[in-house]
Structure formats: C-alpha cells, structure tokens
Structure 1
Amino acid sequence: MLICLNVSHAQVKVTGGFIQDSTKIGIPFNYYLTARYPSNLQVLFPDSTWKFEEFEFQKKRYFPTVTQQGESYDSAVYTLLTFEVDEVQFLALPVFQLQKVDCTYHIPPRDSIVLSLLVTEPVPDSLSAQDLPLKTNTGYQRVFFLFNYPILLIVLVSLVVLTVALWLIFGKRIRKHFRLKRLNGNHQKFLQTFSAYLQQLQSQFSAEHTERALFLWKKYIENLEGKPYTKLTTRETLLLEADTRLRESLPVLDKAIYGHNNQVLEPLNQLKALAEEKFGKKVEEINHG
C-alpha cells in the first residue's frame, strides 16, 4: 500500500485551473492540470475514481508526455459537472509522484468557478402580500369545456394494466436483451481502451501506461464479476482467482510498474485473453439464465 504525502518539491511544478470563468448547473465545463518534472521521475494524474469534491466527473482527456532535455511535461483536461448551488465553487487536483515505498503529491493553488444562476428574479412565493399584483378584472368568464376526468382515469388504468401484462409476458426477455446490450457495450469499450494502451506500450514502454492498463483490466473484471479486484493486492488476487495466466502475468506487471522490467506486452495480452474468456462465460450465463 502506497502512502502519499503532501510536500512542496521544487523539481515538480504543477499548475491547474478552470478553463471557463463561469458555468451553469448541469452544464459541462473543463479543468486543466499540468506537471513539469525531471524525466527520471514518475508522476500520475487523478482518474475517474478520484473524489472531485462537489463536482461530478464526466471524462478526462490525457495528452502524451513531451520530454525535452531531461524535462518531461504532462497535461490533462477534465470535463466536470456541478449540481451544487454555491455561487463560487473551488477545486485543486493533485499530481502524484511515485517512489519505491510511498508517494508524494503536489497540489496547485485552488481555482474558482462562478455559478450562473438561471433564476435571478424573485418568484411570487417570495414576495410579501402587499407587493403582489392585483387582478383588475374579476368578472365572470364562461367555461367552454369541462374535462372528463372519469374517462381519463379509465384510460390511465387501462394503460397501466396493459403495461403490467406486457411486462409479465415479455419482461424477462426484455431485461435479458438490455443486459446483454449493456454488457457488450462495456466489453467493446474495454477492448478499445485496452488495445490503445497496448499500441502505446508497443511503441514505447511507460510504467504509467502499464499501471493504467492493469487498473482498467481490474476495473472491467470487477464490474463483470462483482469481485473487488481494484482493492486487492496481487497476492490477494491470486488467492481469489487461481488462474495460471494471472500467476504469470501480475508479478511481471508489478515489476514493470516499479521500474524493474519493461516486458509487458505478453502479460497484458494474457490478461486481455482472460477478459475475453470471462466475457464469453458471462454472456452464456445470461443466455441460459
């Protein structure tokens, strides 16, 4: 388990802030985060599992590392939402510097974004009685149409009964269809992202990309099987899942992440094959369930 300490380190320069000056409730906005550091260091940016205070994570766009004359530069843009009503909201995301037994994190100054409220005028309920406008014409107005509420009630009850009957007949098939559709969509998204990491690692080894690929695999299998892979160490994972491919792959990837090995393509491909196999078993389980 890594212990992260908040320190000020002159070698790592971190900046971050909101790209927009203001936003509205439920409207996406962006926060940038950059880090400039010696190329012999390893740094990580927060991912979707990070707690973004009162903000909600939408997506993250990470830009490739640029290294010149022994200095590396990383940057990312986070797309966030807010549903809080505070007029001014603050955020400062950290950058983690990995070391052998622990890590330190560097935080830029907090930046603020202003919430533009949609309702700026007082509503009638907030006005005092003497300030309410008076109706000048209170004369009788003829009603031309009287709505037939009993007929509406009969129609609504009929629709509810029909909906319940259809659900009892076709509900299981419908649930199975949407479950398989969601399962396949998650699988294709996993394969696309995981394959992108493999291509990057084939071009150039990166401990950071290796760690991201391993975490992505754990997160996918955790959602697929309902087992807490992301919270387990390698030893605990091997006790939970006695598979030869895991026993061969996970220790190699751990060494690669901490700088003792860069031969990661074969173990990652083994994890990919294992994910394909588990996906197939899950599909078969749903089809015969």
Structure 2
Amino acid sequence: MRRFLLFISIVVLPMLAIGQQVLRPVGTFSNDTIRIGAPVTFSLVHRHPEKLEVILPGSNYNFSPFELVRKDYYPTYTRNGISVDSAVYTLRTFDTRAVQALALPVFVLQGTDTIRVNGDSSRVILQQLVTKVNEPLQFKSETTLVPVEERFNWPVLLLWVVVGTLFLSLIWLIFGQTIKTKYKLYRLRKDHLYFTSRYNAHVDRFVKTGVSQSMEKAVSLWKNYLTKLERSAINSFTTKEIVEFYENNEEVNTALRLCDKAIYGNMLTEADADTKEALLLLRRFAKSRYKARREITKNAKNNRRHAGLAEPGMVQS
C-alpha cells in the first residue's frame, strides 16, 4: 500500500499538475481543400508557462497520412510569464481518402521524463480531380513520330579534344626531338637541292655565254645560301671577311678573288678555265658546308656540347 501511495505522489500527481498547467497545442491547415501531391502548410502554436521546456515535432515525427516537405521554426516569444512556440510545416499527401486529418502533439520535458500533450485534430478535404471513371478504360494511342531537333554533342567533342591533346602531347614528349631532327634534315636537303639547281643553271649560262652577270648571280646565290646555312650575315660580308670567317680557307680565297676580278675588274671576255674552276670550287665548298651542317643536325641529341659546325676551314670534296 505504501509503495502504491509513493508511486501516486511521485509520478501521477506531477503529471496531473503539468496537465493542468500546459495547454493543448493548436494546429490548423492553411487551406480547407488540397490536391494530391500539392504542398499545404500546417501551423502549430503552443502557449505554456515560461518555466516549462517544450519541444515541437521534428523531421523524424510521423506525419501520416502526410509527408513532410519542409519545416520552419520561429523563436519563442514570452510575455507576462507565458511563452509561445510556433512552427510551420509544409506537407503533401498521396492518400486518396476524401477527408484527411492531422493532430500534432508537443513534448514537455520534466526532469528525466517527457510528457506528450496532444493537440486538437485539424481536417482537410481532398479535391477530386477525376469525378467519373469509365469502365473499361479507353486507351488512346499516338504513333506519329515527332521530329526532334538534332543537337551537337559538345561533351563528346570536348572529350575527344582532351584525349587528342593528351595523345599528341605524349607523342611529342616521346618522339618530339626525333621529329624536329627529321624536319630540319628535310629542310636542309630541300634548300640544298634548290640552291644546287639554280646555281648550276647560272654556271651553265655563264659557260655558254661568258656574260659576267651570270657569274655575279651565281656568287650572290652562293652567299645567300651560306647565310641561311651558317645562320650568319655572310651575304653582307666582303671577300676578305668571308675568307676570315672560314679561317682563311685557300679554296674559298682563290675562288672569290677570281670571281671578283672577273666581275668588278672587267677582265673577262669569255669563260676561261680559271673562272669555271672558281665557280666549281664554290659549289663544292657549299656542298661540304651542307654535309657538315647535316651531320651536326643528326648528332644534335648526343652532341649538344658542340655549339657550332665543324671547323669552317675543313672542306670535304
């Protein structure tokens, strides 16, 4: 008997006291009617003594037959010892019942216990969009194809560009030096063949006619070719400077002086053996410089320490 009275005094009486102090929460829908899947708001307001700690339903609460879309809480407002807690819940339903109701409680914290205070039920009417259903249902088929505008697949293009760039970068990283060397050799050979063809034409014309202008053009072409080959302004050098550039090469010295004598000294009446030999010496020297440059280009990867060509005075026949 004493245990029963103790239970009444410790558990039941505080709950009755709290029940007398705590008012029931008030919940209302924003609309009287709703549609399936359409959002509707439910406002919950609870007034209670300032000293009580009250919790409103959270996102884990079961709002059946509704689903919670969003919840918005507002700060507690206290005046004359009465606090007001409020929240607005955005709900939706997919239940087909004509009338649907919802009653949300509040939870009062009392020491280690939690007391649930239920609110009054609020109802809404489900608006029926389909008033009559014909049985059996009639299915309408539509088999006409609708033209769809073709769209360019930019993501695929971007992917191919990225993959192609990476592939070409990899190829260049591995074979770039070889490709550059091959291209330089191709340019050297092409320039030399072009020079040889034009130079031989001037020499043949000089041999046939003995006109000094043909020799002058041949020497000018030779200087321009070596300027490009040696990457030096040889075409602006005097004969003496050219000979010094090639470290007093005897064949270059002899050939250029004979040509200068014939061109500027008006000492030439016809193509003699010396002038023809001078032109052949210049052609042979140009060929030797081409071979030297070609070898340097081939071995550039393994002989980077060599900045220039072979000794300019060394002429290969």
TM-score, length-scaled by structure 1: 0.49
- Higher RCO (C-alpha under 8 Å, 6+ residues apart): 1
TM-score, length-scaled by structure 2: 0.45
